[in-house]
Structure 1
Amino acid sequence: MDIEVLILAQLIKGSKHGYEIKKNIIFVMGNDKIVNNNSLYPKLKLFEKRGWVIKKTEMQERRPKRYVYSITAEGEERFHICLNEFSLETIRIDNEWSIRLAYYELLDLEARRRLLDYRETYMKEKLEHLQQLSLVIGNGEDLDYSEELYFYTRNMVLREIELIHELSHKLDSLDKD
């Protein structure tokens, strides 16, 4: 997973202290395993070294000082590069798809089209696999896969394909304008 995109995306929206960055990433991704202090602070230190972020000390009354991070122009450029660079293999990973979808409006139009094409390709492959699996279910052979999970997964894949088509139609409308 590309934690760089997640961290820099938080700073695109304004300066934040580390805990706020972490809390917002967990909220956006819906997963508290995505980022922790051992992954966040070394990245922020690296970003500072590379000139992507600036760290300022903020004094607090009766509390320890804290550091507030702001993104630089170089950091914004890096964010857009990270967000727009991906491959079919990357987009097969649900978290990578979710990251791009979370910041979909910040993708350039070409990257949006590529994202949707790649994910649709993957979802169609997944649907084909499920259809092959349904033959096994239909034969009543021993399964390590319940019928309920099959239908749940199939419905999720079909819904995601619908979403991809909806977003593609919106892109087509933008192309016509």
Structure 2
Amino acid sequence: MDIELLILAQLMQGPKHGYEIKKNIIFVMNNKKIISNNSLYPKLKQFEERDMVSKTTEEQEGRPNRLVYAITDMGRQVFYDSIHHFTPEVIEVDDEWSIRLAFYNLLNDETRRRLLEYRMRSVQEKKERLAKLSLSVDDSEYLMYSPELYFYTQNMLDIESELIIQLLDRLDKPSGSD
């Protein structure tokens, strides 16, 4: 996953200092390993060099000053371009799918349809692999895949399929008809 999109997404919500960006990304992605200071600050420096963010110093009484980053028009454009441009392989990655879904309201209908169709293909491929794998579930006491994990995965794929179908149906309905 490209951490750039997550950083820009945080700054789209307003100016933030580095620790706040990091803390929010960890919270949103529910993954403490997704970002570190060693990945965050070099990216912010790159963004600043590319005019995607601006940096100001915030004075704090009795504490060291801290740097606050704000997204620029260039950064906003990169963010919008990033959420709109993806390949089927990118959308197979759960985190990439989740990020696009988080900003679904910012996508145009054509991009929404492409996103949903790519993900549905990915879900169908996962279901097909799971079906092949299910043939081995009862074959041995030394399973690579437990029945519990099989049923859990099957249920999650079914739920995701239903969501995609609902979102595609909404795209197919003319505006104002409910």
Letter in 1 for 2:172: D
CA contact (8 A) 1:55 1:69 kept: yes
Unpaired segments ≥5 residues, structure 2: none
1:40 equivalent in alignment to 2:33: no
Identity %: 59
In the superposition, the TM-score normalised over structure 1's length comes to 0.94
For the aligned residues, what is the CA RMSD? 1.2
1:82-121 mapped onto 2 (5 Å cutoff):
82-121=82-121
| CA offsets 1:69-98 (integer angstroms, 9 cap, x no match) | 111111100000111111001111111111
Say which SS state the counterpart of residue 145 (structure 1) adopts: coil
User: Given residue 60 of structure 2, which amino acid in structure 1 is its aligned partner?
Assistant: Q
| One-letter amino acid of the counterpart of residue 77, structure 2 | E
> Could you list the runs of 5+ residues in structure 1 that have no partner in the other structure?
none
Q: Kindly provide the CA deviation profile for residues 84-129 of structure 1, in whole angstroms up to 9, marking residues without a partner as x.
A: 1110011111111111112221222222111110110010011011
2:63 is matched with which residue?
63
The separation in 1 between residues aligned to 2:30 and 2:161, in whole angstroms, is 21
Q: Aligned residue for 2:19? A: 19
Report whether the alignment pairs 1:29 with 2:24. no
| Number of corresponding residues | 174
Q: Which moved more, 1:97-106 or 1:78-87?
A: 97-106
Pick which of 140-149 and 31-40 moved more: 140-149
Look up the equivalent residue of 1:154 and give its one-letter code.
Q
CA distance in 2, matches of 1:38, 1:107: 31
For the 8 Å contact 1:92–1:119, the answer to whether it is kept is yes
The amino acid across from 2:91 in the alignment is I
Hey, what's the Cα distance between the residues in 1 that align with 2:33 and 2:108? 29
CA–CA distance in structure 1, aligned partners of residues 74 and 102 of structure 2: 22
Cα separation, 2, equivalents of 1:107 and 1:34? 25
Other-structure match for 2:168:
168
SS across alignment from 2:68: strand
CA distance in 2, matches of 1:14, 1:28: 16
State the alpha-carbon separation in 1 of the partners of residues 4 and 109 from structure 2: 21
Runs of 4+ displaced beyond 4 Å: none
SS in 2 for 1:7: helix
Query: Match of 1:8?
Result: 8
Determine the C-alpha separation between the residues in 2 that align with 1:154 and 1:83. 28
